[in-house]
Amino acid sequence: MKQRTKRESKDERRRLRQRIGLVAGVVVFSLVAVVARAYFLQVVKHNYYLARQQSQCNSSRLVRYKRGEILASDGKVLAASIKGESLYAEPRRVQDKRRLAKGLAPILKMKVSSLERGLRGERGFAWLKRSLTPGQVEALQPWCKKEPGLAFSKEARRIYPNRDLAGQVLGFTNIDCQGQEGLELYYDEYLQGRQLYVSMERDARRQVVESSQSAELDHLKGKTVYLTIDRRLQAWAEQELETAVTGSRGKGGVALVMDADNGAVLAMAQYPRFNPNSKRKNNPALWRNRAVTDLLEPGSTLKAFTLVAALESGIFKIDDLVDCEEGKFKVGNRTIHDTHEYGLLRLDEVLKYSSNIGCSKIAERIGAERFYAVLKNFGFGSHSGIDYPHEPSGRLRPWQKWREIDLCNHSFGQGVSMTSVQLVAAYAALANGGHRVTPHLVAKIINGAGWTVYEPPAKKSSRVCSSKVAQQVDRALALVVEDDGTAPQARIPGFRVMGKTGTAQKFDFAKKSYSHKNYRASFVGYVDPPKGQSRKIVYVMVDEPRSSIYGGLVAAPAFQRINRHLLSYLNYASQTELATLTIPDYEEEEAGCSVAENGSERVENFTGNATQAANVMPDFTGRTIRDALILIGSYRRSVKISGQGRIVSQKPQPGTTLEPGLDFVFHLSSESSEI
Amino acid sequence: MAVKKKQPSQWSWPNSCLLVVMVGMIFYCSWINNKIVTRGYRLNELRQAEKQLIEEQDKLEAELATLKSPRNLARLARRLGLKEPRPGQKMVLP
C-alpha cells in the first residue's frame, strides 16, 4: 500500500514536471517569438517604421514671416503688415454651388457668375476672396458654420495707415506682400520676411503637440526701413502743393524738400495724390512717382547753372555787362525773345530778370564744350542715384551734336530734360558750397535685433564748382525775390531767400513743337538757416496751370508757405522772427511781379485799386479766386469759397466799408475759364 | 542521513525594493511623458494666444497711426473749428 502510494506520488511529480516543462517551453517560445518580432520591427524594419511614424505624427508647414515696416524719420508707421482673413472654398464639398454663390455675392461685392466660376469643378481648394474687411468676416461667419466647404484662412495684408500721405513714394505690394512699386519694390529684399518650413508633432486627432516654431523669430522677420521723409513736412508740402495746383487750376504738381548737405529727401509730394490702400480704385497713371520718373524741361531754373558755367570759365565776372538786345536776338534763322525789353544787364541781373537772351549770349561766349562740362558735373544727363526704382537718366546730348540754337536753348533750360529730383540735387550742390550730393529716401535699415544693416553710402562728394562761384550765384539768386525780381512772392520777411523761377513750355509731341498753351510753372530755392544748420532746398512745380503760367505767380507762393512751415518746425527762427512770419504783404509783391514777369495790366490795376481803398471792399466779380486770395492776404480775414471758376458774387458787397472781424464769402461760377 | 537544509529564498527584500523602484520608474516615466504631451498642448495654446495678441496689437497700432496721421488730425481740428496756427504761434515739442 505504502509502495503503491509512493509510485503514484512519483508519477504525479513526473506529470507535474512535464506540465511545468510544457508551460515553460510555451513561455520561452513565446518570449523568443516576441523578442524575434521586436528585433524584426526595431532592427530589421527600423527605417521603414520610423518613416511611417514620422509621416503620421510629424508634419511641416511653410511659414512666411512678417514683412518689415516702413517708418517715417520720427519712427511713426507709414507701411505695416497685419493679418487679415481670406475666404476659400473646397468646391468638391459644396453641394449647392448656385445658392452659395448667390448668398456670398452681396457680402463679397462680387458678381454671382465670377463666384460660380470659382466654385466650378471638383477641386479641393479655391480662393473666393482675399483680404476681407472685418465687416465681411462677421457677415460670413454664419455661412462658414453651415457650409462645410467654406472656411477662412489667415493671410498677411499690407496697410498704409496714413492713407495717401507719400503714397507714390511708398508704392505698394501685391496680395502676397511682394513689393510692386516705389520703395516697397526697391527695398523688397530687406522688407521681405523669410520663408521657413516649421516642423510640428501632431497627435491622433491632428492636434499640434509640439512645434519648433517660436511665435516671433525676430531675425526671420523683414527688416525695418527708416525713411528720411518727415511726416509733418510731407503733409504740409502736400497741402501747399494741392493749394497751388487747385488754385491755379493746374493738372498736377510736384513738391520736394531736400537737405542740401546730405541729399536726404525730407518731403516728396505729388498732386493728385494716391492711396496705396485702394490701388485698384486709382488710375494706374497715379502710381508713378513723377518727381523721380518723369523727365521734364526745367526752363529758367537751369539759368543758375549757366551763370555757374560763366563764372567757372573765368571769361565772365559777376559784374560784367551783357547786352540783352532790347528783347529780340537772332540766332541763325531763329529769334530768341525776352518777356521784357532789356538793354545792358549785369550777370546777376540776367538771372534776376530771367533773360533768355542774356543766357544765350553767355553760353555762346563760353562755348558748348565748357557749358556741357558744367551741366554734366552737376549731374544733368545722368542718374541722380536716388534709391527709388525706374529713375531715368536725364537727357543731355553730347555737345558735339549741338547746333548753334541748341546751345542757346540749353542755356535757358530748353532741349535738355531731367527729373525733378535731379534738378533739386543740382541746386543742393549750389546751396552747400559746390559739393554734389546723392539724393536718398532711406536713412537706415535695421534688423529684428536692432542692428543697422544698411545706411546710405557716405560717399565723399565731389566738388562741382568752387565755393566762391557758389556764393556769387547765391547772391544772384537772392536778387530773384526782390521787388523787381521774378518771384517776390517767395520772400519771407526776416530771412534771406534765394531761388529761381521756371516757366517752361511743354513739348507737344503731336505737333512736334513747343505748346503755346501748356506750361510747367516752377520755383526752386532755399532759405538761409541759422549758423551750423543745413540749407533745405524746396522745389515746387505745377503742371499746366491755367490761372497764370508763371513760376513766380503759381509756384513761388507755395514755396514760401512750405518754407514758413519748415522754418517754424525746425526751430530755425527765433520767436521774434517767427512773429514776423505772418501772411506777407502780397499787395506790394504782386505789383512788383506783375511788372517783372507777368506784365498784365489787369493785375497792376487790380492791386493799385486795392491799395487806394484799403478799408473798402473791392469788386472781385469776374476775377479768379487766386487773384482775390493774393489781394486779400493783406486784409487778414477768413475766406469762404463755394464753386469753381471765376467769382460771380461776393460778401461783403463791393464798396462796403470793411468792419473788423467780417469774413469774406465768394461764390464762383462752375465753368472753368482761362486768363 | 542528514536532512538537507532548506535554502533561504533568493527573493529577498532588496529585490523587492528594486522591483518597486523599477515599477515606480515606469510609472514616473509614463507620468513625465504624459506631462510633456499635456504641456506641449498648453504651450501650443499659449503660442496661438500670443500670436493672436500680437496680431491684435498690430491692428491697433495701425489704427492708432491712422487716427494720428497729420491729415486726419487736421481734418478733425477743422471740424472742431480750429484754425491753422501761424508759424509764430507754433511750438514743436521734442
Specify which residues A123 forms β-bridges with: none
Average pLDDT for residues A172-196, to the nearest whole number? Answer: 92
State CA A391 to chain mean position distance.
13
Assess whether pLDDT exceeds 60 at residue A369.
yes
pLDDT at residue number B86: 64
**Mutation for testing the B interface, residue in A70, A73, A77, A199 having most B CBs under 10 Å:** A77
HSE value, Cβ hemisphere, 13 Å, CA-based, for A43: 6
pLDDT at residue number A296: 94
Helix, strand, or coil here: A267?
Answer: strand
CA distance B17 to chain A (A): 25
Chain A hits for B92, Cβ within 8 Å: 568-569, 571
Nearest to A275 by CA among A130, A172, A184, A183: A172
CA distance A540 to A559: 6
pLDDT at residue number A346: 94
* Grid cell of A446 as nine digits: 535695421
Q: Which residue of B lies nearest to A165 if distances are taken between CA atoms?
A: B71
Helix, strand, or coil here: A632?
Answer: helix
Nearest to A623 by CA among A663, A595, A664, A584: A664
Average pLDDT for residues A175-192, to the nearest whole number? Answer: 94
pLDDT at residue number A645: 66
Nearest to A69 by CA among A190, A241, A196: A190
Closest partner residue to A82 among B50, B58, B86, by Cβ? B58
HSE value, Cβ hemisphere, 13 Å, CA-based, for A73: 16
Helix, strand, or coil here: A153?
Answer: strand
| Contact residues, chain A to chain B, C-beta under 8 Å | 76-77, 80-83, 159, 161-165, 201, 203, 207-211, 213-216, 231-232, 234-235, 238-239, 564-565, 567-569, 571, 573, 575, 578-583, 638
Per-residue pLDDT band at A584 (split at 50, 70, 90): very low
Average pLDDT for residues A219-241, to the nearest whole number? Answer: 93
Nearest to A341 by CA among A364, A359, A323: A323
Q: What is the DSSP string of A366-431?
A: H-HHHHHHHHHHTTTTS----SSTTPPPPB---GGG--HHHHHHHHTT-S-BB-HHHHHHHHHHHH
Per-residue pLDDT band at A641 (split at 50, 70, 90): confident
CA distance A246 to A645: 11
Closest partner residue to B51 among A215, A569, A581, by Cβ? A215
- Residue whose grid cell is 518597486: B20
B70 touches chain A (CB under 8 A): yes
pLDDT at residue number A459: 63
- Residue whose grid cell is 501632431: A202
- Tens-digit pLDDT profile for residues A612-626: 344 667 777 766 676
CA distance A421 to chain B (A): 25
Assess whether pLDDT exceeds 70 at residue B73.
yes
CB-based contact A216 B88, cutoff 8 Å: no
Assess whether pLDDT exceeds 90 at residue A647.
no
- Tens-digit pLDDT profile for residues A528-553: 988 888 999 999 999 999 999 999 99
SS3 of chain A: helix, strand, coil, percent, to 5: 40, 25, 35
Interface confidence (ipTM) of the complex: 0.72
Higher-confidence position of A580 and B61: B61
Q: What is the mean pLDDT of chain A?
A: 85
Q: N- to C-terminal Cα distance for chain A?
A: 151
- Residue whose grid cell is 522772427: A577
pLDDT at residue number A620: 76
CA distance A664 to A660: 11
Q: What is the DSSP string of A302-371?
A: GHHHHHHHHHHHTS--TT-EEE-GGGEEEETTEEEE-SS---EEEHHHHHHTT-HHHHHHHHHHH-HHHH
Assess whether pLDDT exceeds 60 at residue A582.
no
